[in-house]
């Protein structure tokens, strides 16, 4: 039986470095952030093979090493540059080794790549599922065409589509991906929901105005707005228990219809940085 996707996950991008490991990285600090999230009730840790060249997965493994495996869910993503059948099988085994676990809760295709036969990822993940090495399969940055291939080739339901969704990125709405996910019952996990929200003056000014009127922070207003869309969960980053509590509190907020309307009007004018994936 497929378990329900948690509402919140800890995103670990930039832990351990960027694309390559950072020899000066504060490993202990990153591990502390992971442990703080878990102590704050966040049970899903979101990582990827190409975060810091695999070092990020190693840090996650160190952070959870002393915890009961069933108390934590692990999501990792297969490198989009290695999507052949054999590379996917090998990638999963390598991730398991770096994480120090016997199975993955979510095994996700990081993004489509036209240089590969996308169906091969799902043929491989079907085998990994049968072998008990993964519990669920998911996708990331998948538009309608790629998602249809996923649905057609996966033996188990697609557990999530991890997509960029924030006040300055309405691509999933304007491309039809959001509606397609709803129709096919594929949960959307919004990544980078709170990143760089001050970059666009009009959207941030509106968040500030609503925050003042509701006694929330602009970040909380944004979470409440994005959460007003059906089928949305979040992978995000917080370094303190207080910040996690603020996010959780925002999930309980229902904004006034007038505020939602104003936010959507601004939101729908914004194009994100990952739209090219959604056309694949």
**Homologous superfamily of the 8-278 domain (CATH):** NADP-dependent oxidoreductase domain (3.20.20.100)
- Concatenating the DSSP letter of every residue in 104-172 gives EEEEEE-S--TTS-THHHHHHHHHHHHTTSEEEEEEES--HHHHHHHHHH-SS-EEEEEEE-BTTB-HH
Q: Which of 46, 111, 45 is nearest to 79 (CA)?
A: 111
How many Cα atoms within 13 Å fall on the side-chain side of residue 126?
A: 14
Per-residue pLDDT of the chain (280 residues; tens, 9 = 90+): 467 899 999 999 999 999 999 999 999 999 999 999 999 999 999 999 999 999 999 999 999 999 999 999 999 999 999 999 999 999 999 999 999 999 999 999 999 999 999 999 999 999 999 999 999 999 999 999 999 999 999 999 999 999 999 999 999 999 999 999 999 999 999 999 999 999 999 999 999 999 999 999 999 999 999 999 999 999 999 999 999 999 999 999 999 999 999 999 999 999 999 999 999 9
What gap in Å lies between CA 130 and CA 108, rounded to an integer? Answer: 16
Residues 6+ apart with CB under 8 A from 25: 15, 16, 17, 52, 55
């Amino acid at each position: 039986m497929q378990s329900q996707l948690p509402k919140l996950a800890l995103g670990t991008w930039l832990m351990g470095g960027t694309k390559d490991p950072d020899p000066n990285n504060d490993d202990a600090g990153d591990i502390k952030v992971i442990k703080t999230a878990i102590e704050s009730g966040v049970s899903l840790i979101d990582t990827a093979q190409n975060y810091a060249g695999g070092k990020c997965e190693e840090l996650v493994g160190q952070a959870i090493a002393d915890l009961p495996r069933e108390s934590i869910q692990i999501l990792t993503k297969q490198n989009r540059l290695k999507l052949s059948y054999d590379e996917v099988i090998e990638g999963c085994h390598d991730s398991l080794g770096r994480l120090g676990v016997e199975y993955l809760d979510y095994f996700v295709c990081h993004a489509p790549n036209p240089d590969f036969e996308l169906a091969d990822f799902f043929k491989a993940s079907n085998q990994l599922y049968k072998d008990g090495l993964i519990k669920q399969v998911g996708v990331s940055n998948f538009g309608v065409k790629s998602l249809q291939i996923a649905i057609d080739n996966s033996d188990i339901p697609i557990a999530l589509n991890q997509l960029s969704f924030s006040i300055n990125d309405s691509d999933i709405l304007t491309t039809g991906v959001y509606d397609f996910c709803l129709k096919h019952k594929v949960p959307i996990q919004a990544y980078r929901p709170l990143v760089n929200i001050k970059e666009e003056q009009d959207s941030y000014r509106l968040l500030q105005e609503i925050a003042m009127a509701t006694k929330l922070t602009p970040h909380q207003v944004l979470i409440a707005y994005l959460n007003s869309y059906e089928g949305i969960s979040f992978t995000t980053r917080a370094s303190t228990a207080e910040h996690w509590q603020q996010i959780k509190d925002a999930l309980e907020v229902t904004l006034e219809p007038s505020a939602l309307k104003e936010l959507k009007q601004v939101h729908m004018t914004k194009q994100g940085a990952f739209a090219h994936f959604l056309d694949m």
